[in-house]
Amino acid sequence: MTTGPGLSGQLRRVIGLIFAVQATDAATDLALAAVRTALAWIFIWYGAGKLFGTFNGPGFHQTVLFMANTATCVQGVCSLYSAE
């Protein structure tokens, strides 16, 4: 299958829009850094609670038991991780 000459130009334009780099001011950079830091902290807080039981989280064993019983995870796979 061959592509027409118009498709290649369109594709280049779309790729150019996706990967274009635009200069931004310091306020925008600071706001993006704050949002990224806040989201990173949320993901770290949630993940550490699930895996290690920190921040009053259930811990890995309870999370696996929940997946095996409630979330209908494959019993054989989950039982490998819930063995003590």
pLDDT of residue 80: 58
Residue 64's CB is within 10 A of a number of other CB atoms, namely: 20
Contacts of 73 (CB under 8 A, 6+ apart): 64, 67
pLDDT of residue 7: 65
- How many domains does the chain contain in total? 1
Residue 73 lies in a domain: yes
Residue 75 lies in a domain: yes
pLDDT of residue 5: 58
Tokens matching residue 10: 């369109």
Residue range of the domain that includes 68: 25-82
Mean pLDDT per 10-residue segment, the chain (84 residues): 64 87 89 96 91 87 80 60 54
Which amino acid is present at 68?
A
pLDDT of residue 81: 57
Residue 9 lies in a domain: no
